């Protein structure tokens, strides 16, 4: 099975699990075996595309990893766009700066996902975060303001530029 097709099946699995527990690494060797694909080669391919992170290769050739925002974008772009628009929109509506917990409306179950989004938005130069005391403050950059005001570019387009 071509690596592209196998990786999409793995990404769907990782995304499904990510929604339940975003901070956990998941084994992908069972899927690779079922698809008759070498798990190391598959995970190398996925790493090269920045679809997974925190890959662990065990001596028994078992592999576990976590999906990245780019990996989610590859198989569920509407999910990423929704989260992006929610985060940037909330910041824009609040004057450009807000604590992460306020953005999440204190829904702690989405904290890890929001941290992943903030990290990706920082990479894109749309936000910056500071960490005073026991909080994470997220603030729109000048580019973030432009994005908020324009609202037309997709996250995928911006990620391709980054």
Tens of pLDDT, residue by residue over 63-91, are 999 999 899 999 999 988 888 888 888 88
Instruction: Quickly state the pLDDT bin for 58 (edges 50, 70, 90).
Output: very high
Alpha helices in 21-161 (DSSP H): 29-34, 39-48, 69-75, 77-93, 100-103, 111-123, 142-150, 155-161
Query: Which domain covers residue 138, as residue numbers?
Result: 78-161
Residues 20 and 90 in one domain: no
Instruction: Give per-residue pLDDT as tens, 60-70.
Output: 889 999 999 89
Helix (H) or strand (E) holding 110: none
0.95 cut: is pTM over it?
no
Residue 152: the pLDDT is 41
Q: Which residue has the tokens 């980054």?
A: 162
Helix (H) or strand (E) holding 153: none
SS3 156: helix
Residues 32 and 94 in one domain: no
Tell me: pLDDT of 1 over 60.
Answer: no
Instruction: Quickly state the pLDDT bin for 93 (edges 50, 70, 90).
Output: confident
Q: Are 124 and 162 in contact (CB under 8 A)?
A: yes
Residues 105 and 130 in one domain: yes
What is the count of structural domains for the chain? 2
Residue 150: the pLDDT is 78
What would the mean pLDDT of 81-109 be, rounded to a whole number? Answer: 82
Residue that finishes a domain, picked among 50, 72, 94: 72
């Amino acid at each position: 099975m071509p690596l592209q097709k196998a990786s999409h099946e793995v990404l769907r699995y990782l995304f499904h699990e990510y929604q339940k527990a975003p901070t956990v690494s998941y084994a992908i060797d069972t899927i690779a075996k079922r698809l008759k694909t070498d798990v190391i080669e598959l995970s190398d391919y996925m790493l090269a595309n920045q679809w997974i992170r925190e890959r662990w290769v065990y001596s028994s050739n078992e592999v576990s990893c976590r999906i990245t925002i780019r990996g989610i974008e590859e198989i569920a772009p509407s999910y990423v766009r929704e989260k992006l628009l929610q985060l940037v929109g909330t910041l824009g509506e609040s004057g450009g700066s807000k604590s992460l917990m306020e953005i999440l409306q204190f829904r702690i179950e989405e904290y890890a996902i929001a941290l992943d989004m903030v990290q990706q938005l920082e990479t894109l130069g749309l936000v910056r975060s500071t960490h005073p005391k026991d909080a994470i403050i997220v603030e729109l950059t000048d580019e973030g303001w432009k994005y908020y005001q324009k609202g037309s570019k997709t996250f995928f387009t911006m990620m391709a530029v980054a």
